[in-house]
Chain A
Amino acid sequence: MNALARPAPFDQPATPRTALAVHNIEVVYDHVVLVLKGVSLEVPEGAIVTLLGANGAGKTTTLKAISNLLHAERGEVTKGSITFYGEEVHRLSPSELVRRGCLQVMEGRRCFGHLTVEENLLTGAFTRKDGKAAIQRDLEMVYSYFPRLKERRKVLAGYISGGEQQMCAIGRALMARPRLVLLDEPSMGLAPQLVEEIFEIVDRLNREEKVTFLVAEQNTNVALRYARYGYILENGRVVLDGPAEALRDNEDVKEFYLGLSATGRKSFRDIKSYKRRKRWL
């Protein structure tokens, strides 16, 4: 009846499609530890969206819930739904999800140490069926974004530097021809210069290769400069979200995550919980 009253995003070419929609999920580890307490977020096609939060906020858990990697950690999504381009992903194995174009670059890069850089990249193409030539072309594409990897292609990945490993991990993911990459803390343990370089490349991949990114970060400052939209996670709940510029200008974010306040860094948890509950729950 009142269908007209509801927005119909798919009919309007101006609104991008929703690549990923996470709706009110709960995650439990070991059948008892409730870690995510109702997280919802949305990633439009073609965007860079960032998921911010301190240690233990639940960023990694959220990404693993999406990519279905929780099972190996005895974790389980007990409530809510996750859809990738409208399809419920709950029943899909990680490998089937990769085939559909959604894959995760795990925290701490996790390159295969006893494989060479090039072999690492090639493992990313495992699910592809479009032939050697196409894979070879993409290998060159990855090398064009990461010329340093080309120089080190024959070196065991265990012996390259941390920054190179991060590049290798991202390159390996690209070899699967993903539509959406879940990137977990790419800045971890890297010098500021290198962090900037990595984000610069993520930005180029987003614009030139049309890869959508959901980036979990603790480095709020850098993440909000490259992302279009951000979610702030605390204690397994989204406490704040909005366009990146808005978040950067938000007084609370400035105070608690960008360290711009004179009173020093605190947690949302300490004082503002009443106020936040009113605003976001």
Chain B
Amino acid sequence: MAELGPVLEVLLGGLMSGVLYSLVALGFVLIFKASGVFNFAQGAMVLFAALSLVRLSEWLPFPVAIALTIAIMIALAWAVERLVLRPLVGQHGLILFMATIGVTFFLDGFGQTIWGSNVYQLDLGISASPWFLLENLFPGGILVSPVDVFAAAVAGSLVLALSIFFHSTKIGRALRAVADDHQAAQSVGIPLNQIWLIVWSTAGVVALVAGMAWGSKLGVQFSLSFVALKALPVLILGGLTSIPGAILGGLIVGAGEKLAEFYIGPAIGGGIEYWFAYVLALAVLLVRPQGLFGEKIIERV
């Protein structure tokens, strides 16, 4: 029993940070499903949203700052649709991917130019002192950070809201139709431009939530953009087209890297958590290229 306490603590901590990976991956999946674009800029959107929020909240009440940041993310989605997607419609996926790399560098640079490039503290008003759970079972209990719990709860509700949106609204149905076959969707009168705007806006809001969660843990700074790269192995694990896959992939990566650090780390000198996810993803890629939860490709003969 004495052994189990620390393991559980590591596992829980891993799952919590996994939720944050999931959030970033979720943004990728949304955009990939609806517009077939592998949006490299998702990480930059996380940073940009967090920076906007933290700087705006310095001179505005917090709820107003959030509303304004959401508006900024929607404006960004609009600009991307107008200036990048629309002119490039029908082009090869690789060209669109390159375009999103352009967007990434623009957002990173532009964001720091207007908002500054220091490390900013994002205070969500949640107590920083950890909770100790199950103290009667384990000596010292299990340490859990309230910020992590809050982030997990927000992420959970976000996913729930999205899945309701996708499955029981007219727009959600249209989004799934576009994800399946955008030309056929266009042929029945679903306007792709509107759908893309909605999807990129949604991904922008998801990026904001991810940015808030990461930012309150690590401070809002340029390195957030890199943390977001952890979403890549998550995507490989979960499959590019599966929302549940993004969530589970994030949890697996989060928990896996912390456990690997805990068990194997001491033997080889630590640092495993920086590359564990990528090796795991590589292994999955070799066995199941569509990811663990990639949407089944329906093929009839």
Contacts and interface: CB of A to CB of B under 8 A. Distances in A.
Interface of A: 67, 69, 71-74, 93-95, 97-99, 103-106, 110-115, 119-120, 122-124, 126-127, 156, 158-159, 162, 172-173, 175-176
B135 interface: no
A156 B298 contact: yes
B187 A67 contact: yes
Given A103-B189, A126-B188, A126-B190, A113 B298 contact: yes
A44 B185 CA distance: 27
Given A106-B184, A115-B176, A162-B300, 12 more contacts: A72-B89, A72-B90, A72-B183, A112-B176, A112-B181, A114-B298, A119-B173, A122-B170, A123-B173, A123-B188, A126-B174, A126-B190
Question: Which 9 A-B residue pairs are closest in the complex by CB-CB distance?
Answer: A98-B189, A158-B298, A110-B184, A127-B189, A112-B180, A95-B191, A113-B298, A95-B189, A72-B90
A93 B194 CA distance: 12
20 contacts: A71-B89, A94-B189, A95-B186, A95-B190, A98-B189, A106-B187, A112-B184, A113-B181, A113-B298, A115-B173, A115-B176, A123-B174, A123-B185, A123-B188, A124-B189, A158-B298, A172-B188, A173-B188, A175-B188, A176-B188
A74 B189 contact: no
A123 B182 CA distance: 12
Contact of A69 (B173, B176, B187): B187
Contacts of A111: 184
Contacts of B176: 112, 114-115, 119
Interface string B21-40: 00000000000000000000
Nearest to B295: A114
A98 B188 contact: yes
A94 B186 CA distance: 7
Contacts of A175: 188
Nearest to B183: A72
A120 B181 CA distance: 12
A73 B300 CA distance: 25
A114 B174 CA distance: 12
Nearest to A165: B300
Contacts, number: 86
Contacts of B177: 112, 115, 120, 123
A122 B295 CA distance: 22
Nearest to B180: A112
Interface in B245-301: 295, 298, 300
Contacts of A97: 189
A93 B190 contact: no
B165 to A, nearest CB: 15
A273 to B, nearest CB: 34
A114 B180 CA distance: 7
A73 B90 contact: yes
B224 to A, nearest CB: 33
Contacts of A156: 298
B186 A72 contact: yes
A110 B90 contact: no
Contacts of B190: 95, 123, 126
Q: Which one of A74, A95, A106, A127 has the greatest number of beta carbons of chain B within 10 Å?
A: A95
Contact of B187 (A94, A120, A162): A94
A122 B89 CA distance: 26
Contact of A99 (B182, B183, B184, B189): B189
Interface string B156-194: 000000000000001001101101111111111111000
Contacts of B183: 69, 72, 106, 110
Contacts of B170: 122, 126
A99 B174 CA distance: 16
Nearest to B174: A126
Contacts of A67: 187
A93 B191 contact: yes
B180 A115 contact: yes
Nearest to A72: B90
A73 to B, nearest CB: 6
Contacts of A103: 187-189
B93 to A, nearest CB: 14
A16 to B, nearest CB: 25
